[in-house]
Amino acid sequence: MNVAGDAGEQAARTIIDRLCGGGHVALLAGGCVRDMLLKRTPKDHDVATDALPQRVGELFARTRQVGAKFGVVIVRVSGQDVEVATFRTDGVYLDGRHPEDVTFGTAEQDALRRDFTINGLFYDPNGDRVIDYVGGRADLDAGVLRTIGDPDRRFGEDHLRMLRAVRLAARLGFAIDPATQKAIKRLAPNLTHISAERIWMELDEMICAPTRAKAWSMLVGLELQAYLSDQWALDDGFAARIQSRIAALPDRPVDSALALAVLRCDRSTNDATSLARALRLSNRVAGELVWLIRSLPAMTNAGACELADLKLLMANSAWGSLLELFRADLIARKLPLAGFDEVVSRAERIPAGLIAPPPLLSGNDLAEMGMQPGPRVGSILEAVYRSQLNEEITNEQQAKALAAKLIRS
Ligand code: ATP
Ligand code: MG
């Protein structure tokens, strides 16, 4: 297996060589070995070693003890941060997420504490050797995701693993082993003990990726979706439509707000607001989600509505997402795409400079015209701006004339 590649790999190899030179065992571990064997590009390269954290600190100039309790040290080499973790075995799990303590141990113990067989492999770059204590290679070859050891126990220890199982199986196109599936179905309600932030991190990755349709059907099939947050508990008969909307999204990564809107646009704007709060979405994603759900109904008429209304939609940073959502929704409802094509071609005919032009009229202009401050100032500015967007007025003089007429009326 060739591991000489990007800077992260090189840094990990440098670290492994230094640790081995210091008399230690050091191996690539976990997701990166899985991905290299699948000929996929790993996200990061983790090193596992028998050197204790303090020793790792002594061997390298730039280190940060991030998870001292878990024996994890970040080593910086050639501008790259690499996670170096001491072989360990986990103590009891009481909070459904983390072990109370860990004990440093052997490579085999370290493999056994990992979540899935395909994530439990090591690779020794110097001997060009895969070390497999858990049957991970056979499962990689067969395309099967399976817990290491008893699935009920492993999901009982750390409930987040249920979401990791779906995320990885969907991403890799793997099947989840039947016993592993059965345990997930049984323990799904435990997801409610996991923090909203961690749930959203996993869900976000699942639904933004091109494999989102598979991930969502697995979440539904394993009955996990009802426990993502209170907002998902109701099965109100939209399942088939949601699934076909997801399938209609383009075959590439999409933005988080669009992915969530595709799941939730059968429901109200209020639902979107409470979902955003429950999942602790960032302001940006929350704002776009609510806007997408509020704006979708207007798209039905966007080929024929007032020009100003179309331009106001187009001026939003999530306009591209709104078009995707509209298209996916038409497909899911088995409606003709002519309505979508009409909006796209109308939008394309609008010159970029006329979508959100600077207003011809300002509040100062109205004050100079003798208007007292107050709510009417805002409504007149808005009416004049709409007229500008409708291309009924094109210069300041016309804007002031229109304002004067509105003040009088
Ligand atoms: P990704 O490609 O998404 O990073 P990954 O498998 O590399 O997937 P990481 O979160 O980077 O996932 O974790 C690295 C490794 O640590 C995993 O491959 C697995 O061996 C182990 N691991 C991660 N999370 C858990 C967990 N919750 N329980 C047990 N082992 C875990
Ligand atoms: Mg990883």
Provide the residue-wise pLDDT of the chain in tens; the chain has 409 residues: 544 458 999 999 999 999 999 999 999 999 999 999 999 999 999 999 999 999 999 999 999 998 878 899 999 999 999 999 999 999 999 999 999 999 999 999 999 999 999 999 999 999 999 999 999 999 999 999 999 999 999 999 999 999 999 999 999 999 999 999 999 999 999 999 999 999 999 999 999 999 999 999 999 999 999 999 988 876 667 888 999 999 999 999 999 999 999 999 999 999 999 999 999 999 999 999 999 999 999 999 998 999 999 999 999 999 999 999 999 999 999 999 999 999 999 999 999 999 999 999 999 999 999 999 999 999 999 999 999 999 999 999 999 999 999 999 8
Q: Strands 88-90 and 102-104, how do they pair?
A: antiparallel
- Tell me the residues surrounding ligand 2 (ion) with CB < 5 Å: 31, 43-44
Q: Is the CB of 40 under 6 A from ligand 1?
A: no
Q: Is the CB of 99 under 6 A from ligand 1?
A: no
Of the candidates 92, 72, 95, which has an alpha carbon nearest to the alpha carbon of residue 82? 72
Question: In this structure, is residue 266 part of a structural domain?
Answer: no
| Amino acid 5: pLDDT | 58
> What's the 43 CA to ligand 2 centre distance in angstroms?
6
Of the candidates 25, 23, 117, 31, which has an alpha carbon nearest to the alpha carbon of residue 8? 31
Question: In this structure, is residue 390 part of a structural domain?
Answer: yes
Q: Is the CB of 43 under 6 A from ligand 1?
A: yes
For the chain, the domain total comes to 2
Counting ligands in written order, the one closest to the CA of 162 is 1
> Token pair of 135, please?
């049957």
**How far, in Å, CA of 72 to CA of 74, rounded?**
7
| Amino acid 237: pLDDT | 78
Q: 100, 116, 142 — which closes off a domain?
A: 142
**What's at 310, amino acid-wise?**
L
Q: 142, 169, 186 — which closes off a domain?
A: 142
CA distances for 43 relative to 31, 141, 288, angstroms: 8, 21, 28
Q: Is the CB of 167 under 6 A from ligand 1?
A: no
Question: In this structure, is residue 114 part of a structural domain?
Answer: yes
pTM score > 0.85 for this model? yes
Of the candidates 203, 164, 193, 202, which has an alpha carbon nearest to the alpha carbon of residue 180? 164
Q: Is the CB of 160 under 6 A from ligand 1?
A: yes
The three-state DSSP-derived secondary structure of the chain is CCCCCCHHHHHHHHHHHHHHHCCCCEEEECHHHHHHHCCCCCCCCEEEECCCHHHHHHHCCCEEEEEHHHCEEEEEECCEEEEEEECEEECCECCCCCECCEEECCHHHHHHCCCEHHHCEEEECCCCEEEECCCHHHHHHHCEECECCCHHHHHHHCCHHHHHHHHHHHHHCCEECHHHHHHHHHHHHHHHHCCHHHHHHHHHHHHHCCCHHHHHHHHHHCCCHHHCCHHHCCCCCCHHHHHHHHHHCCCCCCCHHHHHHHHHCCCCHHHHHHHHHHCCCCHHHHHHHHHHHHHHHHHCCCCCCCHHHHHHHHCCCCHHHHHHHHHHHHHHCCCCCHHHHHHHHHHHCCCHHHCCCCCCCCHHHHHHCCCCCCHHHHHHHHHHHHHHHCCCCCCHHHHHHHHHHHHHC
- Taking phi over 0 as left and psi of -120 to 50 as alpha, with beta for the rest, 123 belongs to beta
Question: In this structure, is residue 92 part of a structural domain?
Answer: yes
Residue nearest to ligand 1 atom 21, measured at CA? 114
Residue nearest to ligand 1 atom 25, measured at CA? 115
| Amino acid 396: pLDDT | 96
Q: 78, 108, 142 — which closes off a domain?
A: 142
For the chain, report the end-to-end CA distance as a whole number of angstroms: 80
Phi, psi of 76 (to 5 degrees): -105, 120
User: What atom of ligand 1 comes closest to residue 46's alpha carbon?
Assistant: 14
Question: In this structure, is residue 202 part of a structural domain?
Answer: no
**How far, in Å, CA of 204 to CA of 195, rounded?**
14
**Which domain CATH number covers 35?**
3.30.460.10
Q: Identify the domain containing residue 397 by its residue range.
A: 363-408
| Amino acid 132: pLDDT | 98
Question: In this structure, is residue 241 part of a structural domain?
Answer: no
| Amino acid 69: pLDDT | 82
| Amino acid 239: pLDDT | 87
Q: Is the CB of 50 under 6 A from ligand 1?
A: no
Residue nearest to ligand 1 atom 16, measured at CA? 30
> Token pair of 307, please?
């020009």
Question: In this structure, is residue 148 part of a structural domain?
Answer: no
